[in-house]
Amino acid sequence: MILFVQKPTEKAENRAAMTPAAAKKLIGLGISIEMPAGTGVKSSYPDQQYIDEGVTISQSPDESLAKADIVYGLELPKAATFKKMKEGAVYLGRVEPFGNAKLIAAAAKAKVRLVSMEMIPRTTLAQKMDILSSQANLAGYQAVITGASRLDKILPMMMTPAGTISPSKVFIIGVGVAGLQAIATAKRLGARVQAFDTRPVVEEQVKSLGAKFVKIDLGETGQTEQGYAKELTEEQLEMQRQGMAKVCADSDIVITTAKLFGRKAPIIVTADMVAAMAAGSVIIDLAAETGGNVEGTKVDEEVVTDNGVKIIGIGKLENELPTHASQMYAANLANFTEHFWDSEKGELVLDPEDEIIQGSLLTDNGEIIHPTFK
Ligand code: NAD
């Protein structure tokens, strides 16, 4: 069995889909790994570390791709990649399946078995394969670090002979995986932290991290079976904005993480709310790539408003921590592979009755089989 690792080509992408540690685990299963030279260099994994674990540095990536039984990707795949793969081979990686119908159709046409790692069900068993969680966790941490570094103040309280500095106030909107990590990180740095989420179950989690939950009565809200937030009505969103305006105005750092899986993010912080914030305040919008939670966010840019508020909308903050982001991402894919590895047959067996496969396998036998994308 040959596994080929694609090397990211986008200049801004620093991560890799394989690490030496993940390679060691997979080679231990009996899998041969081939990858282009320099695949892990930007995440500080030199080729030699992979070679030491038994990875082959491919002299012809296209040939390696064509003979591979399993392909690991990190950037969105291209239809051309599927065309070059052999029939029945498995592609594992990010697919962003909502809005990428043509890509899914291309995989089906090429008879590639396409696994969307974003669609891994949110169950305890599948947690070790969940790329959304592993990357969001790091992004949540990095949001606070970025916010702190762009703020003209310190986060903790400091009592010095020259006077007392009061702690900075951090407000986190959206308390999923990224938001929880952001709360924990901001607390560790000594900030005064408040948070809000539309899912009522979150209140306890916020309190258990020592932060204050901002209460806004929006009527009926809730979550889907997979734990994702339900979309609010426009009326509810307006109530939310009004409830939050004062908290935003009073905060030094606002971090928004409020996404709606597969859909555009809601605008929660309007231009008026930004205008009411103090000069020097920082907003980190983690939903920037899916439209942004903040009016005026620009992906991968820092916008400074007329009243001196910095709005930072870096698309993938985890990309700034590539060593650990690659470690987590590669581990997610390797855990999937190990979980479905049949050691007697020496191959990946994607059982259509398995809950994880039902959730994440989009194409098989030349057809789109996933009910959501069919
Ligand atoms: P996400 O990235 O889709 O959204 C981030 C947060 O924004 C969510 O908490 C969501 O409720 C919130 N949000 C959406 N609209 C909002 C609004 N208008 N105002 C305020 N907040 C809003 O979510 P996520 O991080 O992927 O996590 C979703 C849930 O899934 C969480 O409960 C998480 O703990 C759970 N989860 C479970 C597992 C597992 O059991 N294996 C794994 C990962 C996540």
* Three-state secondary structure string covering 302-355: EEECCCCCEEECCCCHHHHCHHHHHHHHHHHHHHHHHHCEECCCCEECCCCCCH
Exposed, middle or buried: residue 250 (CB in 10 Å: 0-12, 13-18, 19+)?
Answer: middle
Asked whether 227 lines ligand 1 (CB < 6 A), one says: yes
Asked whether 200 lines ligand 1 (CB < 6 A), one says: no
Q: In angstroms, what is the C-alpha Rg of the chain?
A: 22
Asked whether 132 lines ligand 1 (CB < 6 A), one says: yes
Euclidean distance between CA atoms 25 and 341, whole angstroms:
12
Beta bridge partner(s), residue 367? 364
Euclidean distance between CA atoms 171 and 252, whole angstroms:
8
Active site residue 130: yes
Q: Which of 32, 188, 228, 358 is catalytic?
A: 228
Active site residue 251: no
C-alpha dist (Å) from residue 107 to 95, 115, 306, 355: 11, 10, 47, 21
The top-level CATH class assigned to 2-129+324-368 is: alpha beta
| Residue-level pLDDT at 54 | 98
Nearest-CA residue for ligand 1 atom 16 is 258
Of the candidates 4, 92, 55, 81, the one whose C-alpha atom is nearest the C-alpha of residue 333 is: 92
User: Does residue 191 contact residue 155 with C-beta atoms inside 8 Å?
Assistant: yes
Nearest-CA residue for ligand 1 atom 11 is 229
Architecture of domain 136-320: 3-Layer(aba) Sandwich (3.40)
Nearest atom in ligand 1 to 258's CA? 7
Active site residue 94: no
Asked whether 3 lines ligand 1 (CB < 6 A), one says: no
Contacts with 124 (C-beta within 8 Å, 6 or more apart), sequence order: none
β-pairing, 302-304 vs 310-312, is antiparallel
User: Does residue 329 contact residue 135 with C-beta atoms inside 8 Å?
Assistant: yes
| Residue-level pLDDT at 220 | 85
DSSP state for residue 86 in the 8-state scheme: P
| Residue-level pLDDT at 200 | 86
Asked whether 233 lines ligand 1 (CB < 6 A), one says: no
pLDDT tens sequence for the chain (374 residues): 999 999 999 999 999 999 999 999 999 999 999 999 999 999 999 999 999 999 999 999 999 999 999 999 999 999 999 999 999 999 999 999 998 999 999 999 999 999 999 999 999 999 999 999 999 999 999 999 999 999 999 999 999 999 999 999 999 999 999 999 999 999 999 999 999 999 988 999 999 999 999 988 888 887 887 778 888 899 999 999 999 999 999 999 999 999 888 889 999 999 999 999 999 999 999 999 999 999 999 999 999 999 999 999 988 999 999 999 999 999 999 999 999 999 999 999 999 999 999 999 999 999 999 999 99
**What amino acid is encoded at 274 in this protein?**
V
| Residue-level pLDDT at 219 | 86
Euclidean distance between CA atoms 35 and 237, whole angstroms:
47
User: Does residue 98 contact residue 77 with C-beta atoms inside 8 Å?
Assistant: no
Best probe residue, ligand 1, of 128, 199, 209 (max atoms within 8 Å of C-beta) = 199
Q: Residues of CATH 3.40.50.720 domain(s) within the chain?
A: 2-129+324-368, 136-320
Asked whether 269 lines ligand 1 (CB < 6 A), one says: no
Best probe residue, ligand 1, of 96, 98, 133 (max atoms within 8 Å of C-beta) = 133
CA of 71 to the centre of ligand 1 (A): 29
Instruction: Give the dihedral sign, CA 127/133/135/140.
Output: negative
